[in-house]
Amino acid sequence: MKAIEIREKYLNFFEKHGHKIIPSAPLIPENDSSVLFTTAGMQPLVPYLLGEKHPEGTRLTDYQKCLRTNDIDEVGDNRHLTYFEMLGNWSLGDYFKEESIQMSYDFLTQELNIPSEKISVTCFAGDEDCPRDEITANCWKRAGIPEERIYFYGKDDNWWIAGETGPCGADTEMFYDTGKEPCGPDCQPSCDCGKYVEIWNNVFMEFYRNEDGSYSKLKQHNVDTGMGLERIAFILQGKETPFDIEIFEPVMSKLQELSKNDNIESRRIATEHLRASIMISADGERPSNVDRGYILRRLIRRMTRHISKLGVDLNCLSDLIDLNIDTLKELYPYLEQKRELIKEVIVGEKDKFIKTLARGEKEFNKVIDRIKSQGKDIIDSKSIFKLYETYGFPPEVTKDLATENGMKVDMNEINELFKEHQNKSRAGSEQKFKGGLSSSGEMETKYHTATHLLNAALKIIVNKDCHQRGSNITSERMRFDFNCDHKLTPEEKQATEDLVNKWIDDDLVVSHTEMEKQKAIDSGAECMFVERYPDIVTVYTIGEVSKEICGGPHVNRTSELGHFKIKKEEASSAGIRRIKAVLVHEN
């Protein structure tokens, strides 16, 4: 069964069981700055899991585009992927364990025709936070799974939460028995030998994990399930790895045809990273040195290196992208419209990288000669960092090169160093921004305050979920980017402008105070990038209309701003609009 058919079967099945099909959210989270990319189907639904009413009701189903980068340097083996699609269904305070398990069992055995004996399940073993989940085990027995294929594990295996805090709960996982020989007498679903492959996870989300590690009960009990599309597809197709299914096969084969060697690991890395880069670029991200853009850059650069390692001419990248989009557009028809843009982004970044690749590899060889001559086999993180700073070598690329040369690197140490570096460059750019403002005076300060007013006005006029996504100020004008799914109507533009001018006329007081970051966020202060601020932050308040974490400076009273005028409203990137506005002095 092809992936697209599995997806259709899934959505239809749950629709038949009263679920509304909702669209996939973009890979780039819209209202959640706690993660760089959407990593699970539940992420865009967090407010509803916490009790907010979803406009489509209490039973939802979708496919969600996801990206997980924790294991980026594991890609190349037979199972790790960065980008994947997750099929999911949700109960928002509606059905719970019994119905969820019966539906899962029916879908697996009747729609996907998996023989019941091939399925094993795991349940939560219980601890001081939550009792042993006998209820779930009994549901499985009633559905048709005998006791000997029901396993109990602790929080490490059967408890699900995205990150450190948030909605969570005990889960039950379904495993497919590949029929391989058990690796020993203790071979179980939890073991890594490959006999059992996890195919679905149903989370019974009834708790919230607080900052201090304690758990509170949620207002409602939810079910959050997730099934990795590529994984279920390769299993149903009787293949060994996701790289053998129709989603990856054309690019894998093409690379094999063009390769001068039979390096399957490089083929997988290039194929996987190419698809991920296409999906990220299509959702509006561009390569850069920070955050999401840095991930995209790393994926493209690592892919580039593996294509050249295969001995494939890099000039064929554009054709490979075409081939990949031709394959993917069955699942994501919108890629067709973005074809040229995607090619520009990926080929452009490849070109940048190859300019430095040769020089970098030369430098790398010098580094290993030096280390080998010292009788060592670990490349120190400083050298790796230098390769990055001087030659744009992402650490994974250096790690790959090191492994090929029988050398090691400590990825944890590197990741720490990079985090530090990124924090520094962020602090640097904030500093520059701040410095620019304070040194250049009056007009910029006014625009800065106007930015806060505009941010607050858009929430009232357009959508309460509009948030700042970027801003740029000169003494002549302000530019403000925000998430929004439509072009503002003339009425919305006018009303936004009017509201900002009303607040200016109201002569509101602008005040600021310092507080702990978490307190500020809890009190509802607007905050663009949670992780970019220090633990103690300054919060600027304007009358009762705006509250934002911000470095300032600002005017003292809004009447100092003059008259606010929107000059232009346009698209900035996918889901992001841009407003250019000026302050005109009336007196």
Residues that bind ligand SER (CB under 6 A): 40-42, 88, 160, 201, 203, 224-226
Task: State the DSSP H helix or E strand holding residue 319, giving kind and residue range, or none if neither.
Answer: helix 317-328
Coil, helix or strand for 378?
Answer: strand
Q: In Å, how far are 132, 325, 573 from 322, measured between CA atoms? A: 51, 5, 22
Residues sharing a CB contact under 8 Å with residue 26, sequence separation 6 or more, in sequence order? 38, 65, 283, 284, 574, 575
Buried b (16+ CB within 10 A) or exposed e, 405-422: eebebebeebeebbeeeb
Smaller CB distance to ligand SER: residue 88 or 360? Answer: 88
DSSP string of 395-435, one letter each residue: HHHHHHHHHHTT-B--HHHHHHHHHHHHHHHHHHHHHHHHH
Nearest distance from C-beta of residue 149 to ligand SER, angstroms = 20
- Smaller CB separation from ligand SER, 81 or 499: 81
CB 465 → ligand SER: shortest distance, Å?
22
Task: Please give the order of strands across the beta sheet that includes 510-516.
Answer: 510-516, 536-542, 546-549
- CB of 160: closest distance to ligand SER in angstroms? 5
User: Residue 331: how many CA atoms within 13 Å on its side-chain side?
Assistant: 25
CA–CA distance, 471 with 490 (Å, rounded to integer): 22
We find the least distance from the C-beta atom of residue 43 to ligand SER, in angstroms, to be 8
Task: Give 89 or 383: the residue with its C-beta nearer to ligand SER.
Answer: 89
Could you tell me the smallest distance in angstroms from the CB atom of residue 548 to ligand SER?
A: 31
Largest Cα–Cα separation, the chain: 87
**With respect to ligand SER, which residue has the nearer C-beta, 201 or 271?**
201
Q: Which is nearer to ligand SER, 29 or 41 (CB)?
A: 41
Which CB atom, from 73 or from 173, has the smaller least distance to ligand SER?
173
Number of Cβ within 10 Å of residue 442's Cβ equals 10
Tabulate helix, strand, coil % of the chain (nearest 5): 45, 20, 30
Give the separation between CA 114 and CA 107, rounded to whole angstroms. Answer: 9
Query: Smallest gap, in angstroms, from Cβ of residue 64 to ligand SER?
Result: 9
Kindly state the smallest distance separating residue 70's Cβ from ligand SER, in Å. Answer: 13
Q: How far is the CB of 203 from ligand SER (least distance, A)?
A: 5
CB of 238: closest distance to ligand SER in angstroms?
Answer: 24
Tell me how far apart the alpha carbons of residues 478 and 359 are, in angstroms, rounded to a whole number: 41
Could you give the residue ranges of the DSSP H alpha helices within 107-210? 134-143, 155-158
Peptide bond into 250 cis (omega under 30): no
CB of 406 to ligand SER, least distance (A): 37
Nearer to ligand SER, 96 or 160 (CB): 160
> What is the Cα–Cα distance from 579 to 317, expressed in whole angstroms?
36
At residue 160, what is the residue type? W
Question: Which of 203, 561 has the CB closer to ligand SER?
Answer: 203
Of 48 and 364, which has the nearer Cβ to ligand SER? 48
Q: Are strands 166-177 and 196-209 parallel, antiparallel or unpaired?
A: antiparallel
Min separation Cβ 48 and ligand SER, Å: 14
Phi-psi domain of 360 (left: phi exceeds 0; alpha: psi -120 through 50; beta: other) = alpha
Q: What is the DSSP letter of 29?
A: -
Q: Is 233 helix (H, G, I), strand (E, B) or coil?
A: helix
Closer residue to ligand SER (CB): 45 or 542 = 45
- 171 has which bridge partners? 203
Q: How far is the CB of 348 from ligand SER (least distance, A)?
A: 33
Nearest-approach distance from CB 139 to ligand SER, in angstroms: 17
Q: Which residue is nearest to ligand SER (CB)?
A: 226
Tokens of 306: 């593996």
Q: What angle do CA 328, 330, 331 make, to 5 degrees?
A: 70
Choose between 70 and 315: whose C-beta lies nearer to ligand SER: 70
Number of H helices, E strands in the chain: 17, 16
For ligand SER, the closer of residues 173 and 444 by Cβ is 173
Question: Smaller CB distance to ligand SER: residue 40 or 119?
Answer: 40
